Amino acid sequence: MPTFSELLKGHYESTPDKTIVYMLHAGQPDRPVTYRELIHGAFGYVRTLEAAGIRPGDVVILILQHGIDLLYAYFGTVLHGAIPSIMPFLTEKLLPERYRADLAALIAVTQPTAIITYREFEPEVRAALKPGEDSVRALIVSDQAQGPTAPDFARCGGLTRQEEDIVLLQHSSGTTGLQKGVALSHRAVFNQLTDYGRAIRLNPQDVFVSWLPLYHDMGLIACWLMPILLGYPLVIMSPFDWIRAPYRLMQAVSKYRGTLSWLPNFTYNFCAQKIRDRDLEGVDLSSWRLISNCSEPVRWESHQVFYERFKNYGLRYEALATCYAMAENVFAVTQGGVDGPLVFEDIDLESLQVDRIARPAYDGRPSVRMLGCGKAIANTRVMIVDDKGNPLPDRRVGEVALQSNCMLTEYYHRPDATRKAFLRGWYLTGDYGYLVDGELYVTGRKKDLIIVGGKNIYPQDLEHLAYQVRGVHPGRASAFGIFNETTGTEDVVLVAEVDTDDPAERQRIADEIRTVVTRGSAIALRYVHLVGKHWLVKTSSGKTARSANKEKFLKEMQERGQVF
């Protein structure tokens, strides 16, 4: 089994002039990068790391913006034999105090020997360092790294690494994405790329198109390592360019005849609502053969609104797919929608909430439509277990557990967390779901579950209902429970971002949220809290950070003299 460096060397020697990456930046010409340019640029960082005394096996933290430096620095670290780990830089959606604390904690636990960052962010990184106390020996600013240089593979530390060695760290998705470093070996990553490549039927005509950040497994594995290491063209744009102008994704797919993309569920609604016809002139989406909904609980309704919005631009319904994935399995666990249409079913809401059984809906009772995430990819097994780890039959809701040939080596320097994550050889994902004939349906995160009067409520279900209300920003609501000592159960709070300051309009929005949530879930909201833009805290991967939003809400209520 080859290592990363062996594959990169092979591409350089066999197809040096093949364009493998197209870097897209708003307001700039597209930047094609061949394997020759990639390897030459990466070896500039190899020399930089050598000069800094960084050794193979050392951890190198990368805090870089989208661009050529990130491409060169990442693969330069790999070719040097060190272990790269991409970390998000501070943005408006991350709490500064929490970010700095997590950066300091990351350094303490992961013990990197070097950090590579860009000039403007250097002061932020230095503020988290403790010279003479922590492990960091070199802070490398990208504009001071050595320029592209011809490779000297005879001195390439990456070629001395073995398939069982750790090749990279991914950080699980918390408020800044730094909770646990998922250590992955060359073998685990290539097992995943091989099995997942077969699951999605990779073929020579495939072109990857992505806007996803690289500090999350979906962006890093599916939309960075897979195309570059396996030799498929990658068209990649900045997540910040995309969020400001989501039509850029459609234009890129059309221009480069893109075939493969991965998108979190909120993207489907966001694109359908934000992209205007004037930005789609001449766009042809017929080349898109597989768009995998991943990273969040998948929604049938989101697929429908996305398809209806873009079908007149060539989007084929058969291109809509689903995937269940996690960093601890490198990436994909299941995949649906490749060899046949996606499956969905309507489930009786009360049975799901109270009995934790996914019974088909009947007699016009309240129901919820569940979209399947597909079946397990080759060499990965999925099981649903109860609170004691015992297997459950089909349609019983429990925790999703898995075994595979691409499992993490460990949570880096966290043996306690590694032991806790496994039970009798099965990895416990922390997600709830159920199986039907091998098809996985995910209901939500275990830690986010709200229990109201014995009913199990998944917050994303309430948030999804709130998005139906005119005036609520797509993807900008957060539901959570607060225990009520008097009633002995949890009260439900929903925070939603809105644009208006008009009291009457805000009252209308709040009333409609209460109405749609009550009708759609049979749960009464104790409190609807409307806030302005950027109030909500998101994780580095764009997910709702419910615990952080709960803390922020309680703090505001305390400051107002209101007690919950």
Q: What is the pLDDT of residue 541?
A: 60
> What is the distance between the alpha carbons of residues 103 and 342, in angstroms, rounded to a whole number?
40
pLDDT at 473: 82
> What pLDDT, on the 0 to 100 scale, is given for residue 142?
96
SS3 category, 123: helix
Residue 176 — very low, low, confident or very high, per pLDDT cuts 50/70/90? very low
Under a CB-based contact definition with an 8 Å cutoff, are residues 84 and 77 in contact? yes
**Maximum alpha-carbon separation in the chain:** 72
Average pLDDT, the chain: 92
Q: Which of 295-309, 482-496, 506-520 has the lowest mean pLDDT?
A: 482-496
Q: Which DSSP helix (H) or strand (E) runs through 8? A: helix 4-14
More confident residue, 17 or 483: 17
pLDDT at 538 over 70: yes
Is the pLDDT at 154 greater than 70? The verdict is yes
* CA proximity to 477, closest of 468, 466, 492, 469: 466
DSSP secondary structure, 83-120, as one string: EEEE-PPP-TTS-HHHHHHHHHHHHHHH--SEEEE-GG
**Residue 447 banded pLDDT, cuts 50, 70, 90:** confident
Q: Which residues of 353-368 are buried (b: 16+ CB within 10 A; e: fewer)?
A: beebbbeebeeeeebb
For residue 105, the model assigns a pLDDT of: 82
Q: Write down the residue that tokens 């594959």 correspond to.
A: 7
Percent of the chain with pLDDT over 70: 96
Higher pLDDT, residue 251 or 125: 251
Is 259's pLDDT higher than 90? yes
Q: What is the pLDDT of residues 5-24, one digit of tens each?
A: 999 999 999 999 999 999 99
Separation CA 544–CA 476 (nearest Å): 8
Nearest 5°: the CA angle 186, 189, 195 is: 135
Q: Do 45 and 76 contact (CB within 8 A), yes or no? A: yes
pLDDT of residue 564: 63
Q: pTM of this prediction?
A: 0.87
Query: pLDDT digit string (tens) for 57-106?
Result: 999 999 999 999 999 999 999 999 999 999 887 776 666 777 777 788 88
Q: 135: closest CA among 104, 158, 166, 161?
A: 104
pLDDT at residue 539 above 90?
no
* The predicted structure's pLDDT at residue 370: 95
CA-wise closest residue to 327 among 464, 225, 433: 225
pLDDT at 177: 43
pLDDT classification of 542: cutoffs 50, 70, 90 = low
Closest CA to 357 of 306, 396, 411, 412: 396
Mean pLDDT for the stretch of residues 505-516: 94
Instruction: Write down all domains in the chain, each with its CATH number in brackets.
Output: 35-179 (3.40.50.980), 333-447 (2.30.38.10), 449-559 (3.30.300.30)
| Tokens describing residue 554 | 């309680």
What's the CA gap between 457 and 38, in Å, rounded? 48
Q: How far apart are CA 239 and CA 127, in angstroms?
A: 26
Nearest Cα residue to 402 out of 377, 430, 381: 381
> Is pLDDT above 50 for 345?
yes
Residue 300: predicted pLDDT: 93
CA dihedral 503, 509, 518, 447 (to 10 degrees): -100
pLDDT in tens, 34-47: 999 999 999 999 99
Residue type, 142: S
Instruction: Please determine, for residue 175, whether its predicted confidence score (pLDDT) is greater than 50.
Output: no
pLDDT, mean of residues 531-536: 90
- pLDDT for the residue numbered 562: 73
Label residue 513 left, alpha or beta by phi (over 0 means left) and psi (-120 to 50 means alpha): alpha
Question: What is the spatial distance between Cα 420 and Cα 400, in angstroms, rounded to a whole number?
Answer: 15
- Please report the pLDDT score of residue 95 as a whole number: 63
pLDDT single digits (tens) 97-142? 777 777 888 888 899 999 999 999 999 899 888 888 889 999 999 9
Residues 54 and 139: their CA atoms lie apart, in Å, by 11
Phi, then psi, of 491 in degrees rounded to 5: -90, 145
pLDDT (tens digit per residue) in 272-315: 999 999 999 999 999 999 999 997 789 899 999 999 999 999 99
- The pLDDT assigned to 297 comes to 80
Determine contact, residues 377/200, Cβ cutoff 8 Å.
no
pLDDT band at 204; cut points 50, 70, 90: very high
Phi-psi sector, 177: left (phi>0), alpha (psi -120 to 50), beta: left
Which element (helix H / strand E) includes 444? strand 439-445
**What mean pLDDT do residues 387-412 have?**
97
Question: What is the helix (H) or strand (E) element at residue 23, kind and residue range?
Answer: strand 19-24
